Structure 1
Amino acid sequence: MSKDFNNRCGYCDDFDGWVGGEGAYHIDHFAPKSKFADLENNYSNLVYACSFCNRFKSNDWPSEDYRITYINNIGYIDPCSEEYEELFSRDKYGNIKPSNELAEYMYDKLQLFLVRHRVLWNITRIKIQLERIKPLLDKYKNDTDKYAKIKDTYFELSIEFQDYWNYLLGEKLKNEY
């Protein structure tokens, strides 16, 4: 299931690799199994979700019918639908922003305002930039000026990434003991 969601939470888009991988993520029943037991093993009702989104959503559902996913801007849009992509955006800092009242309900219920979402989004952005820049070092190794600029950028991003990664590991170790 993780591969179907590109190793990202269906609700908040957080990458599972930063927080322990697949073992740290859950399988959410979009229409809660506590209310719709017959959907428990229906693959189209399952969402790969971080533990935060799964727990915050829990068995919240706006109706007694699994097909009625929201009423008067209370409820949910299936994160596997194209409509879901229209609900949220990110500002330049990585904060998740709801686009309408239904998105605001989901934003509050799933606590998409948590700092963790911004942090994980930003370290993913740094990692992607590093992956894009590294091949340029080989490409421009004979052009001294370009190579120096690319190397400096790569170095700065690497340090920023490593510093933050070490911070996260340090926090994890503190919390385990």
Structure 2
Amino acid sequence: MASNFRQLSPKRTCTKTYASYRSFKSYLAIDFNSRCGYTDCPDFWFGGKNTFHIDHFKPFSKNPALATDYSNLVYCCSYVNILKSDDEGDYIDPCNIDFNDHFERDVDGSIIPKDTSKEAKYMFSKLQLNLSRYKFIWKLDEIWERLLKLQEQINNPKNIKIKNDLRIVHSELAEEFTIYLKYLKSAQ
């Protein structure tokens, strides 16, 4: 069963102007919910805001007038930004179009382009959205959210069963971390 690609869509709100697009990074992190505009992976799992890049939706090498135009900037992980580079192919702007209409996630968190979207298929191929890292990060984030919800309830004496659930989630989290770390070590 497929699920939505993302829960919260990014929205560009900054109205400031700067001489350097790098000055917008803090605003982009907030507007993009600290997630990659293209994969929806939280920056947390990549090392935080300092490791994320700023993509120019329309490449500034080909559109220099847009180099510092906030409406052309996308907060994204380095992997996607490097793969996208100066390509002007069929991309969907993460703030202007709902990605849920073009992508979904399978049960394991893999990104799936919808058959009805040629743009999603293009992006899936060009940006290598099938990489395991995005599935693992989605799963880790899902487990983290479950863990936080359980921890909120753990102190309630009426919720004795939660303690067992918390142990199960800890076990799942440890398993996913182990799988992801093995994946990272094998990629070196």
Q: Quick one: distance in 2 between partners of 1:116 and 1:2?
A: 20
- The structure having more radius of gyration, on CA atoms, is 1
Unaligned runs of 5+ in 2: 1-27
Q: Which residue of 2 aligns with 1:88?
A: 103
CA shift, 1:85, in A, is 3.0
Q: 2:81 is matched by which residue type in structure 1? A: N
* Partner deviation per Cα, 1:10-45 (whole Å, 9 max, x = no partner): 000111111111121100000000100000000110
Q: TM-score, normalised by structure 2?
A: 0.76
Q: Which residue of 2 aligns with 1:161?
A: 173
What is the percentage of aligned positions where both structures have the same residue? 38
Unaligned runs of 5+ in 1: 63-74
Q: Which residue of 1 aligns with 2:44?
A: 17
- How much is the aligned-residue C-alpha RMSD, in angstroms? 2.1
Q: TM-score, normalised by structure 1?
A: 0.81
Q: 1:123 is matched by which residue type in structure 2? A: L
CA shift, 1:169, in A, is 6.1
Distance change in 2, residues 1:83/1:172 (3 Å): closer
CA shift, 1:162, in A, is 3.7
CA shift, 1:134, in A, is 1.3
Q: Which residue of 2 aligns with 1:128?
A: 145
Larger RCO of the pair (alpha carbons < 8 Å, separation 6+):
2
CA shift, 1:81, in A, is 1.5
Q: 2:49 is matched by which residue type in structure 1? A: E
Q: Quick one: distance in 2 between partners of 1:107 and 1:172?
A: 21
Q: Quick one: distance in 1 between partners of 2:47 and 2:137?
A: 12
Q: Quick one: distance in 2 between partners of 1:175 and 1:52?
A: 13
SS at match of 1:82: coil
> Is the counterpart of residue 104 in structure 1 residue 104 in structure 2?
no
Distance change in 2, residues 1:132/1:43 (3 Å): same
Q: Greater CA deviation, 96-105 or 35-44?
A: 96-105
Q: 1:28 is matched by which residue type in structure 2? A: D
Asked if 1 retains the 8 angstrom alpha-carbon contact of 2:59 and 2:85, the reply is yes
Distance change in 2, residues 1:156/1:96 (3 Å): same
> Is the counterpart of residue 36 in structure 1 residue 63 in structure 2?
yes
Q: Quick one: distance in 1 between partners of 2:171 and 2:120?
A: 36
SS at match of 1:14: coil
CA shift, 1:60, in A, is 0.6
Q: Quick one: distance in 1 between partners of 2:129 and 2:178?
A: 25
> Is the counterpart of residue 119 in structure 1 residue 119 in structure 2?
no
Q: Greater CA deviation, 31-40 or 53-62?
A: 53-62
Asked if 1 retains the 8 angstrom alpha-carbon contact of 2:136 and 2:180, the reply is no
SS at match of 1:2: helix
